[in-house]
Structure 1
Amino acid sequence: MSTAEVTAAMSGLDLMRWVQTQRTADIPSIGRLLGMRFDEVEHGRIVISLDTRPDFANPLGTVHGGIAATLLDSAMGCAVHTTLPAGVSYTTLELKVNYIRAARTDERTLTAEGTVIHTGRRTATAEGKVLDEEGKLIAHATTTCLIIGSTA
Structure 2
Amino acid sequence: MSTTWANELSGLDALRAMRSLPEPPPSIGVLLGFQIDELEFGRVVFSLSTRPDFANPLGTVHGGICATLLDSVMACAVHSTLEPGAGYGTLELKVNYIRSVSTEGRRLIGTGSTIHVGRTTATAEGRVVDDAGKLVAHGSTTCVIHRAS
TM-score in same-fold range (> 0.5): yes
Letter in 1 for 2:5: V
Residue in 1 aligned with 2:22?
23
The answer for the alignment partner of 1:132 in structure 2 is 130
SS at match of 1:32: helix
Runs of 4+ in structure 1 over 3 Å off: none
Equivalences for residues 14-53 of structure 1 within 5 A: 14-25=13-24, 27-53=25-51
Aligned to 1:85: 83
Q: In the alignment, which of 108, 116, 119 is matched to residue 117 of structure 2?
A: 119
Q: Secondary structure at the match of 1:126?
A: strand
Identity across matched positions, percent: 59
Matched, 1:54 2:52: yes
Counterpart of 2:85, as a letter, is: G
Deviation at 1:57, TM superposition (A): 0.3
Give the conservation status (yes or no) of the 8 Å contact 1:48–1:75. Answer: yes
Distance in 1 of aligned mates of 2:19 and 2:73: 12
CA distance, structure 1, for counterparts of residue 21 and residue 67 of structure 2:
24
CA RMSD of aligned residues (A): 1.2
Match of 2:8 in 1: 9
Provide the TM-score with structure 2 as the length reference.
0.96
- Count of aligned positions: 149
Consecutive unaligned residues in structure 1, runs of 5 or more: none
Contact 2:123 / 2:141 at 8 angstroms: preserved in 1? yes
Task: Tell me which amino acid in the other structure corresponds to 2:102.
Answer: R
Offset at residue 7 of structure 1 (A): 2.3
SS of aligned partner of 1:62:
coil
Offset at residue 24 of structure 1 (A):
4.3
Gaps of at least 5 residues in structure 2 are none
Displacement after TM superposition at 1:22 (Å) = 1.9
What amino acid maps onto 1:136 in structure 2? K
- Cα displacement string for residues 45-68 of structure 1 (whole angstroms, at most 9, x for unaligned residues): 000000000000000000000000
1:97 matched to which residue of 2? 95
Conserved? CA contact 2:45–2:111, under 8 Å: yes
**Contact 1:20/1:41 (8 A) holds in 2:** no
Within 2, Cα distance between the matches of 1:133 and 1:38?
Answer: 16
Tell me how far apart the structure 2 counterparts of residues 23 and 37 of structure 1 sit (CA, whole Å).
13
Provide TM-score, normalisation by structure 1.
0.94
